[in-house]
Amino acid sequence: MRLETVEWRTGQPLTDDYINRSEKASGLYDYDPWSKGAWSARADWLDRERPFGADREGLAEALRAFNRKAGNAPEALQGIESLRDARTLCVVGGQQASLFTGPLMVVYKAITIIQAARQSAEALNRPVVPVFWIAGEDHDFDEVNHTYFLSADLRVEKMKVERPDDRRTSVSQTLLSREQWESALAQLDASLMPTEFKEGVLAEFRSAAESSDTLVDGFAKLLAGLFGKYGLVLLDSDDPALRRLEGPMFHTLIERSSAIGEALLRNRARLQELGYEPQADGSENSLNLFVFDERGERTLLFADASGQCYTDRKGERRFSKEQLLDWAQTAPERLSNNVMTRPLMQDYLLPVLGTVLGPAEIAYWGLTQQAFHTLGMRMPILWPRLGFTIVEGTAQKNMQKLGLTLDDVRFRLEERRQAWLEAQDRWQLKDRFADVKNKFRELYEPIVSSVAEINPGLQKLGETNLGKILEQIDFFGQKAEDGLRSQNESGLRQFARIGQSVLPSGKLQERVFNISAYLNKYGSAWLDELVQTPHEIDGKHRICYM
């Protein structure tokens, strides 16, 4: 395996500026992740100035129970035990619990978390635990119930499980039947070509599925199998044991909701003044918290005019501030964070040295600085997730054969494909058909003009007749092009395979394909090599030549 670092814009202007260390963007964040001095400064702040945090003993107990259930490795359980020590910090990053771990970027985020924890532990000479935050409290099942693979006929295909019912329950509380898991496993089996690794891959995925009641369970077990030996600790944000630890912070978020909301709006205005488009919705009266109702459905709350009562978006359900404060103390499992308060809760729950974020996350975290400061907190260090694109051996051979560079594939593959096809036309059909049309028009138009002098009424008929003849020439020319394409189908298929394997449907590979196909083709050695090879966490993209 060979790695090459390339520049690859994220599509998020704020994130691109952050990665390129623009002074304009850096003011929206509290630390420079590329400064070792910032790592020490953050650690010192956590040691001396952190205003509050969850009980470490309770945190360790909750994490130990969840990770044992997930079958995590001794190395991860050892990391959990070390969190009882006040010197131990953590690097955290997270994602929703997608089917079979979802797109490759989830795996790459786990790798980045492990790398950042390892590098900072060495730099600071103290324990730093890698933690993967599974967003089990999210309720949008349709965002996580599927993953994608490349079919034999070069189409991007989806495998999925259906939502069991129409309730908006959290993913962590949405139970899947044996039949649903079996259907997903059958789809996985059908998607994988026969290889020496297939039996082992299917056994691993089947073992995770058969002992799981939810997508969160299956997701956690697969991540534990892939990364537990590297000490990756898993956390379910919807874990009732963690909710009980979060009660005091929910109380603070409710009591200070007005000040937090104003801080978020100030940050939003500042982003816009700097020319950035905010990447998360903002509302002047949002509590930035959800409640779970009696059916387990998750509802976002908004303050009414009095500020002492909160309703759903339609104003159909009402909750008093006193009721919410009571739940924070007696039933915190009824409460849940939204995208704006989750960063605050994360820093309350865990001693966060830094967090690993994708491009969109870095952009929306740019809205949170003033909210952190309002509560006497500081933003953690933000490391950009490592990005990789796998270029398989077949694609490399085809690129070499067709004379394609990586930039050709990234930026102008269709243009190169068309140029290649035209180069195969030794008969120069395109030019000859164009020449025939021009010559025929030159010969025919004078005849039409002459006939019109005899009978002006025939002018239109002659022009129509000319158009039909030219149309038939075009039709025959198109058939000739079809024949040329058919004759060169093998080469065109190579272009298609390159495009669909490297940039499926024009999208970043890491945002589309699941890891299963690559484990099936190459085993897990390449993944272990990615974890073990030190990477500078610089926001650049890596090409992984297999």
pTM beyond cutoff 0.95: no
pLDDT digits (tens, 9 = 90+) for 169-213: 889 999 999 999 999 999 999 999 999 999 999 999 999 999 999
Residues 6+ apart with CB under 8 A from 476: 433
Say how far apart CA 27 and CA 42 lie, in whole Å.
16
Predicted confidence at residue 488, as pLDDT, reads 66
In this predicted model, what pLDDT tens digit does every residue of 518-535 receive, in sequence order?
999 999 999 999 999 999
Alpha helix (H) ranges present in 55-126?
A: 56-69, 74-82, 104-124
Partners of 357 in the beta sheet? 384
| Residue range 410-466, pLDDT digits in tens | 999 999 988 887 777 666 767 777 878 888 888 888 888 888 888 887 888 888 888
Instruction: Let me know: does 279 contact 267? Beta carbons within 8 Å.
Output: no
- Predicted pLDDT of residue 447: 81
Query: DSSP letters of 454-485?
Result: H-GGGHHHHHHHHHHHHHHHHHHHHHHHHHHH
**Of residues 226, 248, 245, the one with CA closest to residue 236:** 245
**Which residue intervals of 403-458 are DSSP H helices?**
406-411, 413-423, 429-454
Structure tokens at 477: 């020319």
Query: What value does the mean pLDDT of the chain take?
Result: 92
The closest alpha carbon to 190, from 524, 516, 471, belongs to 516
CATH number assigned to the domain with residue range 2-142+217-246+339-385+514-545, chosen from the 4 options 3.30.200, 2.40.30, 3.30.420, 3.40.50: 3.40.50
Per-residue pLDDT reduced to its tens digit, 214-242: 999 999 999 999 999 999 999 999 999 99
Q: What angle do CA 216, 339, 100 make, to 5 degrees?
A: 25
